[in-house]
Structure 1
């Protein structure tokens, strides 16, 4: 039998979707927008809206309705973090002529970037800026996104050495799983996994249509804090939900060193007027947590949000994120001193060195190394929220410019909440949605290394060289990665954390410095063992013969093979910018003395000209012809006959260091 009360209703998927969209129920909104486009089957639902009489056949929609559905479908998918599918619908929406959908041209390349299509995204952002968009905020964000894409391309070419493993078992259950905290060899985390709601319903009304009222189950996805029993890497691990506050969602805990006082974020999730605040709870000897109390007005500013507390290991400072007045953007990082009685002192904004016009969140303090790790979406990075680290002092509130932790610590999506399992922060846990269509998941992260080692010796004696300074720098951005001085055995060793191309320079007083280019990108092993590297000694104003430099007969032009030999001198000059060199040429005694003097000068000048042509600064070079005046072997034998071997030795090219104390050079 047909229920007459139901016969006057039909499902209008667009109006249902619009209502879900207004209430930020983006997953449900996306489902119903797709139903409105006849993309998925009709639902079996109680959800219905008054529609007068049921139309025959499919409901006919105007072009404006179609464009609204397409755009809001794309928006819903993006806001639900399903960038893969949002990309497809924004690709359609960006072609709409209605100005209210102009932002699709911005959000489409955002989705391309999130989907790691960085070069396509670069083109898309360029096209968006070229269209002279009216939204100044999106224009600023487009320029930041362009920088992000360029940074990400470089990072993908040269990944940092980290090993990521997604945690198995019940740790990554349905919903979001995030904000890991490692304390006393135990893992706590936050999860929005579904809970039993006993068939209760929640009713949503529409701001756009007062007749729309949707009955749906209360959201089963509720944020709560969980405690892990067992090893995080085990698939059989068990989790326990902490019962703290009723009728409030809770997340992102932090603990004092003893693990018996907890600070966390709590909120009611009842709309825009509901604010997030930081609460605290004490654990008794039986392991039970006390009824939480709000952390007070110094941390929680009335009418504003305070979230993601982080207590320093010594218990002296509480770092948190807040949108209170006095900041630089949306959410800023602040900190408040903790008094002896557990109350808080006046909070301080961490300043422009740390905070941007966007969001800075989820801080973690590594006291042993004095580093603050946090996430930001307002700096150049891989895209979305990225991890950054800075060093500084709470006592003076001074901080250095934060450095992006690179790929794969960061991804093209959101990467937040780092907790370290060692003092240096080389291992720990993070949360990221890099492998998910919607939600943050928990990962274990460990820094690995690549070994570079070898030995420095004297080129003549072959003995190990002590006291050689060995520097390792990033050959792309010239950042120094390591420095050491060799001991008596002449060995060096570095543990690298990147596969970027490297430059190693070995230097010692009265020895020519030598540089070696190292390319770890294509190295398949964990060790790069370099052969022994020898250094040549020198003395100021003592000439050294450059072997195998030849000229055309009776001419000053260098042969091709001689240029190859001089290339070694080019490298020596480039590796030793502190030296000036004289190039001297000599002849045998065939011909007149004047002619030989002039020929030798032209030959010396040819060498200097070649070195200059290869980038060596001319001011560092002088040329001199000695003619036949300084033989090193007899031109004739004792019996008066010609001595070809002696003449060959006398026809030589030499260089000598005339100065080695130049503090700077123009180049080469």
Structure 2
């Protein structure tokens, strides 16, 4: 907020300087004595004493316009807006042309008190004066845009029914900045006790939040503050802000910690180019863990605090990129939250038209890959106070936020509310899985990859949990995804999630059984696709075919049979021929990509080996499949 702060100080100091240099509007010696004392108090930064002396001066002469205007400036500086409005209004009543700057300052404090109509009138009055300094003129235009927007917003409120999340999480202390995992099983938030900020967590059990507990001694400290966190969708990685830590580069840095079993590993400073000797904070990690949004006051921005992003490469985090003028302004943009749909960004700003101080906004990524101009979330979600720290559930229906003015348990409490439909993100669901040995049922740590089959790009790459074999990844509607799970010594696992016409809310919950590499073990290749009654491989089959090639190259002695199967629709002979031709297409693709023909055979089984009754469309689709079976080691 460099611009606004500079203007505030300059406007305040200009009046104080004039008061010291000009001939005053009173001859009352006592009134002059008290304003002189007040000016000395201001020079000494003793503002409460200055207020006392100015009030005494006005007791001696209630029409002493210089003292009244200066008293308004002091109240404004101390954010006592009602008192400032009173003094500025009385100043104008004494002399409407005393100082044109009063109209700008009065318009500003009236916005902070939600007096938008009055603010509009006074700002328009200020803008009628010629010769205003460019910065002051621009600031007045910005405030006028706020006032005009606010008048309309208050007349057209949006649905907003905040619900306190309860005494298991909220206390008499401050609780704020809540973030949840994609399955909403864990909520992590900041609690402030005796000016020390630490992380706490609550688990959702049978639909209710459990008693919040201290997150971890590995992350929390007694000496430093930890806050402004972001949790990966699967709950395995925590990005957070640490300030004044001995291993940091600047006043505040971004750190990452990884979940290990039931505890967390020691946090690691992200280092340059993300962290600098400046100020980096408020991270938000995207759905696949490869793009980090954060706030910084580094050089190259548009204002005081800007939102930046850094993308993970093979060499580490890349050079941060400013999100540009469709997000950042000459003022402050903070508290970014990138939704798991990867195309909807929520943040707070005092630069875009709003209802006063910081408001919450949403921006959506356009088809050109650029962020569009943001939309204010509306009144009463936003108010004349500070709004910030919004996060959403993965399905996009509900938001979490914190507030200290909703009659909670004390201080800032955490609340949730149903998000109006027009400001929700794209529909997102998630797949939650456990990887096990098919024979022993023991959990396995394995490589998990989910691919957008149309673009053939990974959207999730990680390992299932070492202890429980678990993983979790979010999926955005409108796309076709392939899941592959692999581990040395095992056949890979294949699954498909088609969300092209997905309108549901139920997530996918699977148990992925990996079969040891032995003769007779087989995999149903769920991401091999053909057009109806055709055997040409579709482009979306490429990812699965690449996985087959990788497997055969890693296991060079293995021999396999590629088999094709159909449902019972149509003539038996036609189905037999179709299944054989489809198996041959896969066989030929593997040979064309370097797999020796001696290691491969193909065979069509037609409709003779169904894995489900041919009684429904879904079961028939299951029977139309391509398989991959070990026939030699």
Larger radius of gyration: 1
TM-score by length of 2: 0.50
Judging by fraction of residues, say which structure has more helix: 2
